Amino acid sequence: MKVINLSEYQQFASGKMKKNNIFQTERFFCDVYCFEPGQEQNGHIHGEQDKVYLVLEGQGTFQVGTEKQVLGPGQGTMAPAGEEHGVRNHTDQRLRVLVFVAPNP
């Protein structure tokens, strides 16, 4: 059994958002996305995959479809397959987000 501690998944990169993989199978993946202030994941679409975002630390502006909302620790949202989605760290603090995508692209 693989046991992880989420506090260990907080590698950041100065150039762009950093993806830290936790679990991955042929059916799904689970990452922690780490955003420095001002970094973003541009809006994009997964044709066959659903994506779940859960905020671990900080605040960010999350887009799903045409809606945008600021989410903070303990809050989350889902981007169904076919919906444009993205995240922007609009604050001066770091943002960490737990992400699930299924099925694995």
Determine the Cα–Cα distance for residues 81 and 35; give it in Å rounded to an integer.
23
Whole-model pTM?
Answer: 0.94
Rounded to the nearest integer, the mean pLDDT of the chain is: 96
- Sorted by where each starts, the structural domains of the chain and their CATH numbers stand as 37-99 (2.60.120.10)
Mean pLDDT computed over 76-98: 98
Q: What is the pLDDT of residues 1-33, one digit of tens each?
A: 999 999 999 999 999 999 999 999 999 999 999
The SS3 of residue 73 is coil
Determine the Cα–Cα distance for residues 10 and 76; give it in Å rounded to an integer.
18
